[in-house]
């Protein structure tokens, strides 16, 4: 019998398939279904501080706009005064999910202000989260802002959050980091227990008919797997953190590759959203039979087995373009 | 005595607080100024607030006040404690039931915020005309005159009605008391329980109908016994005064506040006594106290219980020393021997043998007209004359009939230690809300008494508010505005007001002036208009300035400067120590906005914290440096009536307009908004000819008709201002001509709908369109000159175009322009379109509501005329009768046409058979045909004028214009069409007559502040549907289609402008009744108004608002009359509804219910769509009929 147990952020998971942040955790029922489907853990959908602020200001704006301007209509909407505006709704739901399932529940936080990050992190811990996942992402549009400044801000933020909580902390990264190993090292030094590679974002698109910018978020495909696969392979063994791979995991084979690269868990959402909860069992079945066929007795046995440090040709992970391929070719004996 | 607790609330809340706690059933319907009572009751019940029997009162919204009265009657007859709230026309609609309720000796209290009656004009403001119209119904009428009394008398009335079995109307002055915020002593539940006898409640219950104890109530009587029956209740009425007094005494024992049926105050040996009821008594009392201290023998008799009138108690309350009485009525009964209270007092004196007292009567305070101590003094002075004027008026200048009394307006009885503050704000900057908070802070955190009263503008966009605040150590009895030269503190929250209004006239010498200015402090002085500089120097005012917009911008507050200016007020006024004041402001912010989230609190706190560093006192130079003067309210070139009558109204000096200047019958000239240059837009659209495709969409969607396009002869450009933009016409009908899109810069509201609608984008920079917004001040003057030139260019010849395309239709001159509707209004573009297509031959009936207010509220009105002097003839009757009103117009036109056609053949010899035949058989289905008919009518008139002695010729001459085809339009909102006016609308549609009904469907009662109607969709939050409306929107169109001979269309111009245009043209062309239901986005939806058109599109795409046209004419041709003009729903409902706060707020307050209702609504979309599809697929072929036969 193969052993699928893995350890992630100090948590022992029965298998390495983790449901990543998605609408699937927005309902207690669907969270329960995830558990029944066999996931090793689940990451809650993200709490967006920006959204909380926006919704709050928006509600205030529309409840206030036009009021006290005209004698007959001193207001236009009734103000019930009872709104689930702050993080309370999310935190209550987190508690409820935690109570409803027995697998570990990782809370996901997307903050904007320093105070928001630490305050909400504490709230999530208090609500029962087994661990935290921080989503660091900032679109730097100001030419005066340097990469170093931005990275310093990120690192300080991780340190602040780490100092605010006692539960394990993972940081979900964007792929757009110039020198990822260095940055990853700094994050781990600042207190990150795990790194999640990579976040996927809404991206602008163009509506050519109306000449307008639109926003889209497509479900991922297996093609997207290679990028995080490369980086986890590179980072594994060099940086002492637990890695999670998210983006492009759709099959049992994908999940096996993730383990081979050195991740402790593989996260997925698109596959479940597209093809249902049953895919967890399918993937686990594929993994197990592959392991049996290839005489792997435990998942931990393969974690990092094909990382840069473990393969015969480490340069393979460094080939990024034609020139690099050529030079690699030249260097071959 | 119960423990005292003070609260700071308005009069509506004061009354509703007791009503809600002492009733089981509440039937409501919105009407200003009483709506607040219903809204609060609904809110309290929705939140689970219980009455004194620990059960939550059931609140039911009805379709009209008549319906509310019926529901109340039924509820009472089955034994529940039941109440309602109303005013004005609403109260009049309740009268039939009031007779019944009284006749059946039923205990109930109606709470009325007394308001004017629509006569020569509607008015939402306060007087006693409505109440006085019910004095014959057999109800007890109990008058309260202050916020405290509104609270107290609500309870006394409830106790008295249970004991006496006579129904009570508890009334107080609309706006003056209903909307005045004051610090009052709260009546705890214990007091309510002590006053309400549960045995009497059970007795009331036991009198209710129940099968277990069956009886008949509501019989029909015959001449033998009706009279006796009517007299049988006399003993009950006789007992009421004693019962009320006993309850007042009991109440005094519980609270320490002693009231009497008639309360006398003043000199014990007063010789001159004023008799009055309502809030005016507060003013008289303050004046009497002041004059008595000066040694004058004057007094006040305040009437509390007006019906049943205790003649004995009234007479007894008048001091025996009284030689002259002046009885003041806040009502007008044209043609009467005197107003009702006056007649009652005269009668009481006669019946009690006190014939020696000279009694005069006078009218005051109609429609919230100011009633001040100066006026009271004027009345007392008049009473000293040997022959004082009877039937006088006070507070106006009646130079027509000479009824008005003169008075010295500078007379004041204000306590010197009372602090008086006047704030001028923009409606949108939150000034009133902040001032309400300030009053609460002062009321709660200090021992001071505080009072606030707020004067609003008549416009819904760019409106000005004036807040009048008083506070001081003595109770404030001053239900009148702060007088000129008496304010300790004057704040002007918008610099431009100084250019338009005499803001500083309120400041007392040595007072403080706070100004929000964009200028640096040291530069502010030079920017002030000359009049302001003079006032500051003459009155030696201390001047403080702040750039509040800058602080607001930096702290994310946008243009809401309320907390910033509020902080300045507390910092300068010294009413509280600064630190404490700031702490209290923050506490108030927390309390007011706390539930809306931390971000809101944080933002407001930051604004408060940033304020003081930006507040500066400026030193005032001793010399005048200004180079600008206050602007005249209207240009010198305006017509005389506009200059002399409307101009003062615009300048806030309408109180000075004399009676002789007023139109006697409510008739006002058209096209007056064009003279009121409001300059309210910060940014206005600017046209870029290089990108323009001349599609006319910007013109089509403009809610205020400020953006227009024209084609014209190029030769005209020789006279054009240098900056006037133009291009070659691309209209196939007008080759070789010039084309211009022009904006009226001073009339634009800056809503940006035109930019949103513009499809033309710069190929190298798609963000730039053919219309873009630019700051107004820098281009105002230039564009004003361009507009002037453009406006005077000839209009296009209507006969030269077919208006079946958007661009062509928009070449027609709008005859509805520059209304005071909200910026970005979703209704007005439809109205404007009708005015363009048919305005010069349209007669319009307009239901009361938003469209009657922006369409007919003085000072200026938007219905316009063209250069030939023709334009829409518009009138508003009531809320409930508009369809019938419009039908009446049609009946007249039909009858007059018939008569004219009957007369015409008589004149065949004089006119010639060709002209007569032409007139009788004219084809008027095109503009050309109509123009030809006009030409014939013109000849007809000339010919008839020659037949001077022929009576029939005179008749025909007076009717000649009727021979030109007329278009009858009936406009109204969904509150009218779906609810209060539905019965009439149904009948009018069924009549088959040629009327065109346009329902401007905002899915709520917009004008009264967003109450739910039967048009409100499932799941939307509205007032009276706070928990989200639980029932589906009524399908008005489907009901109308069921007649089979009514043209019906559902339109949404944001989704399809072409379908809108087509439907409007078809509806008018259809020779029968037409109903157009127009999706009108609204401020009450809680949307970004610049995205209103986009929301319309989403409403259609989601299937919430399928577009269709049902044309019975097609059925006669064997075709299916229903054509669905929109595609199958392509997006889910949530993609539409959750862009709107009215839906989203339910998601935030009760997610589970929101999801449930959304699911149901989504299901409804599907079933409705399928249903319509099936209807549209039915065969109407008559061949099938024959086969079947």
Domains assigned to chain B: 6-198+225-254 (3.40.50.970), 260-393 (3.40.50.920), 419-618 (3.40.920.10), 633-663 (no CATH), 696-813 (3.30.70.20), 821-862+870-1126 (3.40.50.970)
Q: What angle do helix axes B198-206 and B147-164 make, rounded to 10 degrees?
A: 60
d(CA B981, CA B66): 11
Strand-pair partners of B426:
B464
Chain A nearest C-alpha distance from B48 (Å): 12
Quick one: closest CA in B to A207, which residue? B766
Could you say which of A72, A75, A83 has the minimum Cβ distance to residue B124?
A72
Q: Does A66 touch chain B (CB under 8 A)?
A: yes
φ and ψ at A331, to 5 degrees? -75, -10
CB B834 within 8 A of CB B803: no
The answer to whether B605 contacts chain A (CB < 8 Å) is no
Nearest residue to B853 via CA among B815, B821, B882: B821
Per-residue pLDDT at B318: 96
CB-CB under 8 Å, A73 with B1006: yes
Contacting residues for A159 by C-beta, under 8 A, at least 6 apart = A190, A191
Residues 554-583 of B with CB under 8 A from A: 556, 560
Crossing angle of helices A252-261 and A278-293, in 10° steps, is 60
Model confidence at A167: pLDDT above 60: yes
Structure tokens belonging to residue B59: 């609140």
Interface size between A and B, measured as CB pairs under 8 A: 149
Interface ipTM: 0.92
- pLDDT, tens digit, 9 for 90 and up, residues B793-822: 999 999 999 999 999 999 999 999 999 999
Q: What's the full length of chain A, in residues?
A: 333
Three-class SS state of B717: helix
Cα of first residue to Cα of last residue in chain B, in angstroms, is 87
- In chain A, residues with a C-beta closer than 8 Å to the C-beta of B426 are 69
Give the whole-angstrom CA distance, residue B905 versus residue B767.
65
For A260-276, how does the pLDDT look when each residue is reduced to its tens digit (9 = 90+)? 999 999 999 999 999 99
Given a contact cutoff of 8 angstroms between Cβ atoms, the answer to whether B373 and B366 are in contact is no
Is A114 within 8 Å of chain B by CB? Answer: no
B1023 close contact with A: CB closer than 8 A? yes
Q: Residue A73: its chain B contacts at CB < 8 A?
A: 1006-1010
Q: What is the 3-state secondary structure (H, E, C) of B593-656?
A: HHHHCHHHHHHHHHHHHHHHHHEEEECCCCCCCCCCCCCCCCCCCCCHHHHHHHHHHHCCCHHH
Give the nearest chain B residue to A63 (CA atoms): B1086
Mean pLDDT of chain A: 91
Interface contact B124-A71, CB threshold 8 A = yes
The tokens describing B162, both together, are 């249970």
Nearest CA in chain B to A58: B1141
Q: Is B488 helix (H, G, I), strand (E, B) or coil?
A: strand
Question: What does the longest C-alpha to C-alpha distance in chain B come to?
Answer: 101
* Helix-, strand-, coil-residue percentages of chain B, each rounded to 5: 45, 15, 40
Q: Which residues of chain B have a CB within 8 Å of the CB of A27?
A: none
The partner residue sitting opposite A69, judged by closest CB among B465, B597, B1022, is B465
Is B39 catalytic? The answer is no
CA dist., res. B752 & res. B771, Å (int) = 9
Q: How far is B458 from chain A (nearest CA, A)?
A: 7
- Please give the Cα distance from B175 to A252 (Å, whole number): 73
Write down the pLDDT at residue B1189: 44
Which among A59, A90, A215 is the top mutation candidate for probing chain B, defined by the most B β-carbons within 10 Å of its own β-carbon? A59
pLDDT band at A333 (very low <50, low <70, confident <90, very high): very low
Tell me how many degrees the CA angle B325-B326-B332 measures, rounded to the nearest 5.
145
Tell me if residue B115 is catalytic. yes
**Per-residue confidence (pLDDT) for residue B474, from 0 to 100:** 87
Residue B256, number of CB atoms within 10 A of its CB: 11
Q: How many residues would you count in chain B?
A: 1189
Which residue do the tokens 């935190």 mark? A91
Residue the block writes with tokens 């340069």: A315
A317 contact partners, CB below 8 Å, separation of at least 6? A230, A233, A234, A308, A311
DSSP H or E run through B231? helix B226-231
Closest approach of chain A CAs to the CA of B178, in angstroms? Answer: 12
- Identify the closest residue of chain B to A50 by CA–CA distance: B599
Considering only alpha carbons, which residue of chain B is nearest residue A206?
B766
Say yes or no: B1185 contacts chain A, CB-CB below 8 A: no
> Looking at the complex, does the CB of residue A57 fall below 8 Å from at least one CB of chain B?
yes
- Residues of chain B positioned with their CB less than 8 A from the CB of A70: 427, 456-457, 459-460, 463
* DSSP secondary structure letters along B1111-1166: -HHHHHTTS-SEEE-SPSP-S-HHHHHTTSHHHHHHHHH-HHHHHHHHHHHHHHHH
Can you tell me the distance from the alpha carbon of A57 to that of A75, in angstroms, rounded to the nearest whole number?
17
- Tokens representing B174? 């609309």
| Residue B420 is among the residues annotated as catalytic for this protein | no
Nearest-CA neighbor of B5 among B172, B171, B221, B191? B191
Rounded to a whole number of angstroms, the distance from the CA of A55 to the nearest CA of chain B is: 8
Q: CB under 8 Å to B839, separation ≥6 — which residues?
A: B813, B814, B815, B816, B864, B866, B870, B871, B872
Our CA dihedral for B14, B18, B19, B21, rounded to 10 degrees, sits at 140
**CB-based contact B439:B727 (threshold 8 Å):** no
**Chain A residues closer than 8 Å to B593 by CB:** 60
Q: To the nearest whole angstrom, how far is the Cα of B1009 from the nearest Cα of chain A?
A: 4
Contacts of B535 (CB under 8 A, 6+ apart): B504, B505, B507, B541
**Chain A residues in contact with B1144 (beta carbon < 8 A):** 59
Mean pLDDT, to the nearest integer, of A193-213?
A: 90
Contact B597 A52 (CB under 8 A): yes
* A139 Cα to chain B: minimum distance (Å): 21
Determine which of B37, B49, B428, B597 to mutate to test the interface with A (most A C-beta atoms within 10 Å): B597
Q: For the beta carbon of residue B797, count every other beta carbon within 10 angstroms.
A: 13
- Rounded Cα–Cα distance for residues B725 and B709 (Å): 11
Kindly state whether B100 is in contact with chain A, defined as any CB-CB distance less than 8 angstroms: no
Q: Is B583 a catalytic residue?
A: no
Greater confidence, A66 or B958? Answer: B958
Q: Kindly determine whether residue A70 and residue B32, on different chains, have CB atoms separated by under 8 Å.
A: no
- The answer to pTM > 0.80 is yes
Give the residue among A226, A162, A152, A232 at the shortest CA–CA distance from A195: A232
Contacts of B1176 (CB under 8 A, 6+ apart): B1108, B1120, B1122, B1123, B1124
Identify all chain B residues contacting A71, using CB atoms and an 8 Å cutoff. 32-33, 124-125, 175, 179, 456
Q: Find the catalytic residue in B1007, B1016, B1060, B1139.
A: B1007
Report residues of chain B scoring pLDDT below 50: 1-2, 1188-1189
| Contact check, Cβ <8 Å, B431/A68 | yes
Whether B423 and chain A come into contact, CB under 8 Å, resolves to no
The per-residue pLDDT for B1186 is 56
Q: Show the domains of chain A with their CATH numbers.
A: 6-331 (3.20.20.70)
DSSP B742-756: EE-TTT-----HHHH
């Amino acid at each position: 019998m193969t052993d699928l147990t893995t350890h992630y952020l100090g948590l022992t998971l029965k298998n390495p398939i983790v449901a990543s942040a998605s609408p699937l955790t927005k309902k207690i029922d669907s969270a329960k279904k995830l558990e029944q489907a066999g996931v090793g853990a689940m990451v809650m959908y993200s709490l967006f501080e920006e959204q909380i602020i926006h919704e709050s200001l928006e509600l205030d704006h529309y409840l206030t706009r036009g009021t006290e301007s005209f004698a007959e209509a001193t207001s236009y909407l009734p103000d019930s005064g009872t709104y689930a505006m702050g993080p309370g709704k999310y935190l209550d739901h987190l508690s409820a999910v935690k109570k409803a399932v027995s697998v570990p529940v990782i809370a996901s936080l997307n903050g904007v202000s320093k105070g928001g990050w630490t305050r909400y992190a504490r709230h999530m811990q208090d609500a029962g989260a087994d661990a935290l996942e921080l989503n660091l992402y900032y679109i730097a549009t100001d030419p005066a802002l340097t990469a170093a400044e931005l990275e310093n801000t990120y690192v300080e933020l991780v340190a602040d959050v780490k100092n605010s909580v006692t539960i394990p902390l993972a940081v979900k990264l964007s792929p757009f980091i110039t020198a990822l190993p260095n940055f990853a090292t700094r994050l781990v030094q600042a207190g990150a227990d795990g790194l999640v590679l990579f976040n996927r974002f809404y991206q602008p698109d163009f509506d050519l008919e109306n000449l307008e910018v639109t926003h889209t978020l497509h479900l991922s495909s297996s093609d997207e797997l290679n990028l995080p696969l490369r980086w986890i392979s590179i980072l594994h063994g060099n940086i002492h953190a637990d890695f999670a791979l998210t983006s492009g995991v759709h099959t049992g084979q994908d999940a096996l590759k993730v383990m081979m690269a050195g991740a402790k868990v593989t996260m997925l959402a698109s596959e479940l959203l597209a093809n249902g909860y049953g895919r967890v069992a399918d993937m686990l079945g594929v993994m197990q039979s592959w392991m049996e066929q290839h005489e792997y007795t435990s998942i931990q046995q393969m974690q990092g087995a094909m990382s840069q440090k473990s393969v015969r040709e480490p340069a393979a992970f460094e080939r990024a373009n034609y020139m690099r391929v050529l030079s690699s070719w030249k260097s071959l004996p | 005595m119960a423990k005292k607790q003070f609260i700071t609330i308005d009069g509506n809340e004061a009354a509703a607080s007791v009503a809600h706690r002492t009733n089981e059933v509440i039937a409501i319907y919105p009407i200003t100024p009483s709506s607040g009572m219903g809204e609060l009751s609904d809110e309290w019940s929705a939140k689970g607030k219980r009455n004194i029997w620990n059960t939550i009162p059931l609140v039911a919204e009805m379709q009209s006040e008549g319906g509310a009265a019926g529901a109340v009657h039924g509820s009472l007859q089955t034994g529940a404690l039941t109440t309602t709230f109303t005013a004005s026309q609403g109260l009049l609609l309740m009268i039939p039931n009031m007779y019944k309720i009284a006749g059946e000796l039923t205990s109930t209290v109606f709470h009325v915020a007394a308001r004017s009656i629509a006569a020569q004009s509607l008015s939402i403001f306060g007087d006693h005309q409505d109440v006085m119209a019910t004095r014959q119904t057999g109800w007890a009428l109990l008058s309260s005159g202050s916020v405290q009394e509104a609270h107290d008398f609500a309870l006394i009335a409830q106790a008295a009605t249970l004991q006496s079995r006579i129904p009570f109307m508890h009334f107080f002055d609309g706006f003056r008391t209903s909307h005045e915020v004051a610090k009052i002593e709260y009546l705890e539940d214990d007091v309510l329980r002590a006053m309400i006898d549960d045995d009497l409640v059970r007795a009331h219950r036991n009198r209710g109908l129940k099968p277990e104890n069956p009886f008949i109530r509501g019989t029909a009587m015959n001449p033998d016994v009706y009279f006796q029956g009517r007299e049988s209740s006399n003993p009950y009425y006789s007992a009421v005064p004693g019962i009320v007094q006993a309850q007042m005494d009991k109440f005094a024992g519980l609270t320490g506040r002693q009231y009497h049926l008639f309360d006398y105050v003043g000199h014990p040996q007063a010789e001159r006594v004023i008799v009055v009821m309502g809030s005016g008594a507060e003013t008289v009392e303050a004046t009497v106290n002041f004059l008595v201290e000066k040694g004058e023998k004057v007094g006040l008799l305040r009437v509390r219980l007006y019906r049943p009138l205790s003649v004995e108690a009234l007479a007894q309350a008048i001091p025996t020393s009284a030689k002259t009485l002046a009885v003041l009525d806040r009502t007008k009964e044209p043609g009467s021997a005197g107003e009702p209270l006056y007649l009652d007092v005269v009668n009481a004196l006669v019946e009690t043998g006190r014939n020696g007292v000279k009694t005069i009567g006078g009218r005051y305070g109609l429609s919230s007209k100011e009633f001040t101590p100066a006026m009271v003094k004027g009345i007392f002075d008049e009473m000293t004359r040997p022959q004082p004027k009877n039937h006088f008026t006070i507070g106006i200048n009646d130079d027509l009939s000479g009824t008005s009394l003169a008075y010295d307006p500078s007379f004041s009885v204000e306590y010197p230690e009372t602090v008086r503050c006047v704030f001028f704000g923009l409606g949108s900057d939150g000034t009133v809300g902040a001032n309400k908070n300030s009053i609460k802070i002062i009321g709660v955190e200090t021992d001071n008494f505080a009072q606030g009263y707020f004067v609003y503008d008549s416009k819904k966009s760019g409106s000005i508010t004036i807040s009048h605040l008083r506070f001081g150590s003595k109770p404030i009895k001053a239900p009148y505005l702060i007088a000129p030269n008496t304010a300790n503190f004057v704040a002007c929250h918008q610099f431009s007001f100084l250019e338009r209004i005499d803001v500083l006239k309120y400041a007392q010498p040595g007072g403080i002036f706070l100004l929000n200015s964009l200028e640096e402090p040291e530069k502010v002085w030079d920017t002030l208009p000359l009049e302001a500089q003079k006032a500051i120097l003459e009155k030696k005012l201390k001047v403080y300035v702040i750039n509040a917009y800058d602080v607001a911008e930096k702290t994310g507050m946008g243009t809401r400067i309320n907390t910033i200016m509020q902080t300045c007020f507390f910092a300068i006024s010294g009413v509280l120590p600064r630190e404490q004041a700031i702490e209290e402001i923050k506490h108030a912010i927390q309390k007011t906005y706390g539930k809306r989230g931390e971000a809101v609190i944080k933002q407001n706190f930051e604004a408060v914290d940033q304020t003081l560093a930006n507040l500066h006192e400026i030193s005032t130079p001793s010399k005048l440096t200004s180079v600008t003067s206050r602007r005249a309210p209207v240009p010198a070139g305006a017509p005389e009536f506009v200059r002399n009558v409307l101009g003062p109204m615009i300048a806030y000096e309408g109180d000075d307009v004399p009676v002789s200047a007023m139109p006697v019958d409510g008739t006002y000239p058209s096209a007056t908004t064009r003279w009121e240059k409001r300059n309210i837009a910060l940014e206005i659209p600017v046209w870029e000819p290089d990108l323009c495709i001349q599609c006319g969409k910007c013109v089509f969607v403009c809610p205020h008709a400020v953006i227009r396009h024209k084609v014209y002869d190029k030769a005209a450009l020789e006279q054009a201002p240098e900056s006037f933009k133009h291009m070659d016409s691309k209209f196939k009908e007008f080759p070789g001509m010039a084309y211009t899109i022009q904006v009226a810069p001073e009339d634009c509201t800056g809503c940006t709908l035109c930019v949103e609608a513009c499809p033309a984008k710069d190929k190298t920079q798609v963000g730039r369109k053919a219309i873009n917004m630019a700051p107004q001040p820098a281009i105002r003057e230039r564009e004003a000159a361009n507009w002037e030139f453009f406006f005077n260019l000839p209009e296009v010849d209507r006969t030269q175009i077919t208006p079946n395309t958007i661009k062509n239709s928009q070449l027609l001159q709008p005859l509805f322009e520059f209304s005071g509707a909200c910026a970005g209004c979703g209704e007005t573009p439809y109205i404007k379109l009708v005015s363009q297509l048919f305005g010069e031959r349209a007669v319009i009936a307009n239901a009361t509501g938003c469209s009657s207010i922006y369409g007919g509220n003085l000072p200026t009105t938007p219905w316009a005329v063209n250069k030939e002097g023709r334009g829409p003839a518009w009138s508003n009757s009531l809320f409930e009768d508009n369809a019938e009103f419009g039908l009446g117009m049609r009946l007249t036109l039909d009858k007059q046409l018939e008569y004219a056609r009957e007369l015409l053949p008589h004149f065949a010899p004089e006119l010639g058979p060709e002209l007569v035949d032409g007139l009788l058989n004219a084809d008027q289905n095109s503009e050309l045909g109509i123009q030809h008919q006009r030409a014939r009518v013109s000849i007809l008139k000339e010919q008839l004028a020659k037949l001077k002695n022929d009576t029939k010729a005179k008749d025909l001459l007076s009717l000649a214009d009727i021979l030109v085809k007329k278009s009858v339009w009936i406009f109204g909102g969904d509150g009218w069409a779906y609810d209060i006016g539905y019965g009439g609308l149904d009948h009018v549609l069924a009549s088959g007559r040629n009327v065109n009904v346009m329902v401007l469907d905002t899915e709520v009662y917009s004008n009264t502040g967003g109450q739910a109607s039967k048009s409100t969709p499932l799941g939307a939050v509205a007032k009276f549907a706070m928990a989200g409306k639980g029932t589906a929107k009524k399908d008005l169109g489907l009901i109308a289609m069921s007649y089979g001979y009514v043209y019906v269309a559902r339109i949404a111009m944001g989704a399809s402008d072409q379908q809108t245009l087509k439907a409007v043209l078809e509806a008018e062309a259809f020779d029968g009744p037409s109903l157009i239901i127009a999706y009108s986005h609204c401020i009450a939806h809680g949307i970004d108004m610049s995205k209103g058109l986009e929301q319309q599109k989403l409403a259609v795409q989601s299937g919430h608002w399928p577009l269709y046209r049902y044309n019975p004419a097609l059925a006669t041709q064997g075709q299916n009359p229903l054509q669905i003009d929109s595609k199958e729903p392509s997006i889910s409902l949530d993609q539409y509804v959750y862009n709107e706060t009215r839906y989203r707020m339910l998601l935030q307050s009760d997610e589970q219910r929101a999801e449930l209702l959304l699911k149901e609504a989504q299901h409804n979309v599907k079933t409705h769509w399928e249903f319509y599809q099936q209807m549209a697929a039915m065969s109407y072929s008559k061949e099938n009929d024959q086969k079947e036969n």
